[in-house]
Structure 1
Amino acid sequence: MVRRRTILCSGGAVASGLTLPGFAAPASDEASNRPDGFLATDRTSFSVDGESQYLAGTNNFWLADVWTTRDEVDTMLDRATDLGLNTVRTWAFCAGRNGHCFQPSEGEYDESAFEHLDYVIEAAADRGLRLILPLANNWGAYGGMEQYVEWSETAEKHDDFYTDLETRQLYRDFVETVVTRTNSISGVPYAEDTTIAMWELGNEPRAQTKGVDVLGDWIEEMSGFIKRLDPNHLVSTGMEGFYDGDGDDWLRDGSQGTAYVDHHRIDTVDACSFHLYPDHWGVNPEYGTEWIEDHVRDGHERVGKPVYLGEFGIQVDRNASDARQQIIRRNSIYDTWYDRLDELDADGGVVWQLTLKKRAPYDDGFYVFPGDDRTIRRIERFANRMDAESGRPLHADWKRRRARRN
């Protein structure tokens, strides 16, 4: 079939040099604090121009949502930089979703959504932050892989996403559109922008009905495809880190169709990704500490690549009578996990997630709001430790620059 590839324009405002409502003018070179050098790897470590780099960050999935205002982007990124974080992980995907996102319908792309992502990238660059950008979603939110399956004339079920010719082409088309884009604000091609730390093939990909080999073939093909389009940036899987036969429980028996070690051994995958959610997985936080230890050790020793904890969280019910005790428990667990990441020389930890007070109605129990001071202190302390161990710390430079602004 002939693949449509249509850009839904935003009225020509950018092309004509006008500024869209709420859309910032291009940042000047003088104002930019864009990170120097691409994030790279040096055996089992991240590096920038040969100097070690550790990632301390937060997730914020709604940051690149077209409904998010530029003021919200700036406020959120200011929070991250004020805490000394150097990394933010946010979605670079959206399919379907009532017609207003990156790909509102099959083969059609919404320019205004991409312009918003341009703004997020440039706002991060202005603060010296790096971005981890997943390119698809295993889950239904923001369309997900099931939206590709729905668009296909030959796919039927979720895991057909990995094998169906049409869904694979739809994914490649979208990935190429993102990775080869030139930022409409800065004029910097994404593939040449040091603000982007790495691409993730997806957010938490699983192939429960197709199995480990099928997902491995897909990872190998798609990571190689991105590397050919963009040899400058790192690529990882974005997976949760489930094992293939390293134990009897569902996290380790291969039932999720992922193989933490073998899938990250693929040559065109640069770093090992894993996530940690004891509350969702039905395990205790002590198991979470073991999960960290196993993944850092296996990533460094068996795979031989950097390892980062791309998402983690402990759930809190703020409406419960014991909410305060739940928060105290969460803080204690975060202390333990952050300490183990540091002690094991893990290459990054990215919490789920710092957010704004106005997002309270959407709290899934994992949000960290302004005012959660004791939790925030844990995040800041880890950031400062990673900053001190990195060859190119960013925190002090940002504080000096922000002081000059104010």
Structure 2
Amino acid sequence: MSTDDSPMMNRRTLLAATAAVAATPALPALARQTASAGFVRREGMQFTLDGKPYRYVGANLWYAAWIGHEGRLARELDALAADGVTNLRIAASAEWSPLKNAVRPAFHDQDDAYNEALLTGLDHATAEIGKRGMKAVLYLTNFWEWSGGMATYLLWSNGGQYVDADAPWPDFPEFVSGFYRSPEAVARYHAHLRRIVTRVNSVTGKPYAEDPAIMGWQLANEPRPGGTDGNVDRTLPDFHAWISGTARLIKSLAPHHLVSTGGEGLKGSMERPGLVLSSQADDTIDYHTAHVWPGNWGWLDRTDMPGTHARAVALSTEYVARHVELAKQAGKPLVVEEFGYPRNGDVYDLGASTSMRDDLYSAIHNAVLASAREGGPLAGSNFWAWNGEGRARHPDFRFRSGDTAFLGDPPHEPQGWYGVFDQDVSTRRIIRDHAAALAAL
């Protein structure tokens, strides 16, 4: 790993910076200011791009920076563009961590030594996305362990104590919620945020903050205020302060870009509609997000997929509809930015059918189309995730330390569980058809 040449921030400076952000007044004018051509804007419940409605079919490609120096990146983006995908959600962080499933390499470590290959990989990714007229949404840390994330900032700040994600539920989310209450952990995260948001792209020479290829920034992947009602109630003031303070910081650095939390919606908010609304009420949060995981939430019994599939799709459709109503109450756009489903039989082999997954994709896409036709807030979707030409390297479909064949299924998950491969003809056809239908509106 190499250390980049910008000045390091010591602990006192970091804490002072965080205090200054917390004291910064709200910046609603920045959220609404007129941006130059090519930037996605929020106007009420709609996104616009150069004066026209902006709706999209998107994919999650979290590992884009990790393959940024490879020819594979261009091939994957070309395949996605051919299917009508115009929006990519990617990781702009990973912390070097002792957590068992944390991806390697990471962007930076406890001493703030940065991996230049990943930084320039992110440069290449945003440059290639921009070349194709696509837009990127970059998230800046992770509530979960697979990229280090909040748990790692916390252990860097508390003397090395941590709870790993294999602990009994809800020990891990309860531990991670301490991040919001730790000024030092938040300050270290803000230092990384500043480094990325203010970076000048080494490929294009353009500052990230002035790059219209970037639609927006997300505070984190799936930030939650905790794992139990009691702890959530104690954490909420700090959680809300972290959201508003961080969003204001991003807006001060990149006023042309949108900001969202990256949250799951109701499932990440203890099923409380009021918490969804309060966590995204600040005007610096431009749009709502929702994630849909029927196989992880017990809606789909993965040991009896044929018997529970219809129920899982129905509950997923209802879940999206509930978030459409919440977005209407908030007067903001909504994106279903993660949704995933296993291959038939809950197996990972490429020979297994994707017909049940295709049903869920169609249901999500139909919801986007219905909302678009009535002028509603649901503006786009990002399926989880694109595996493309990536393939599992081991017979047990498990990622192992040192592997470089990154897939959309993160290192803690079986490789091939939820990701869409380049050979998944029926799923790709559904994506292309949806893109055409959106474009025809």
Shorter-normalised TM-score: what interval? Answer: 0.7 to 0.9
Q: Is the 8 A contact 1:56 1:383 kept in 2?
A: yes
Q: Which residue of 2 aligns with 1:366?
A: 418
Provide the secondary structure at the position in 1 that maps to 2:88: strand
Q: Relative to structure 1, is the Cα distance of residues 7 and 84 closer, same or farther in structure 2, using a 3 angstrom cutoff?
A: same
2:331 to 297, 304, 309: 304
Q: Which residue of 2 aligns with 1:279?
A: 295
Q: Which residue of 2 aligns with 1:401?
A: none
Q: Relative to structure 1, is the Cα distance of residues 153 and 286 closer, same or farther in structure 2, using a 3 angstrom cutoff?
A: same
2:271 to 252, 258, 263: 252
Q: Which amino acid aligns with 2:219?
A: L
- Greater Cα offset, 91-100 or 375-384: 91-100
Structure 2 residue 256 is matched with structure 1 residue 232: yes
Write out aligned runs for 1:189-228 (5 A).
189-208=207-226, 209-210=231-232, 211-228=235-252
Q: What is the TM-score with the length of structure 2 in the denominator?
A: 0.74
Q: Is the 8 A contact 2:348 2:417 kept in 1?
A: no
Write out aligned runs for 1:138-177 (5 A).
138-153=143-158, 157-177=175-195
1:217 Cα offset (Å) = 1.7
Q: Which residue of 2 aligns with 1:394?
A: none
Runs of 5+ consecutive residues of structure 1 not aligned to the other structure: 10-34, 245-249, 390-406
1:347 to 363, 379, 396: 379
1:317 Cα offset (Å) = 5.6
Q: What is the TM-score with the length of structure 1 in the denominator?
A: 0.80
Q: Relative to structure 1, is the Cα distance of residues 223 and 319 closer, same or farther in structure 2, using a 3 angstrom cutoff?
A: closer
For residues 282-338 of structure 1, what are the alpha-carbon distances to aligned partners after superposition, in whole Å with 9 as ceiling and x for unaligned? 122211000111111211x21101110111011226775999886212212221221
Q: Is the 8 A contact 2:336 2:380 kept in 1?
A: yes
Q: Which residue of 1 aligns with 2:82?
A: 82
CA distance in 2, matches of 1:75, 1:291: 34
Q: Relative to structure 1, is the Cα distance of residues 153 and 6 closer, same or farther in structure 2, using a 3 angstrom cutoff?
A: farther
Q: Relative to structure 1, is the Cα distance of residues 251 and 164 closer, same or farther in structure 2, using a 3 angstrom cutoff?
A: closer
1:314 to 336, 341, 344: 341
Q: Is the 8 A contact 1:43 1:304 kept in 2?
A: yes
1:53 Cα offset (Å) = 0.4
Q: Which residue of 2 aligns with 1:396?
A: none
Q: Which residue of 1 aligns with 2:322?
A: 294
Q: Which amino acid aligns with 1:41?
A: R
Q: State the number of aligned residues.
A: 350
CA distance in 2, matches of 1:122, 1:368: 24
Q: Which residue of 1 aligns with 2:38?
A: 37
CA RMSD, Structure 1 to Structure 2 (Å): 2.6
CA distance in 1, matches of 2:247, 2:160: 22
Runs of 5+ consecutive residues of structure 2 not aligned to the other structure: 7-35, 99-103, 162-174, 300-311, 373-377, 394-413
Provide the secondary structure at the position in 2 that maps to 1:266: coil
Q: Which residue of 2 aligns with 1:17?
A: none
Structure 2 residue 154 is matched with structure 1 residue 127: no
1:174 Cα offset (Å) = 0.3
- % identical equivalent positions: 28
Q: Is the 8 A contact 2:349 2:416 kept in 1?
A: no
Structure 2 residue 96 is matched with structure 1 residue 96: yes
Q: Which amino acid aligns with 1:149?
A: L
1:59 Cα offset (Å) = 0.4
Q: Is the 8 A contact 1:8 1:109 kept in 2?
A: no
Write out aligned runs for 1:49-68 (5 A).
49-65=50-66
Q: Which residue of 1 aligns with 2:397?
A: none
1:183 to 201, 210, 214: 201
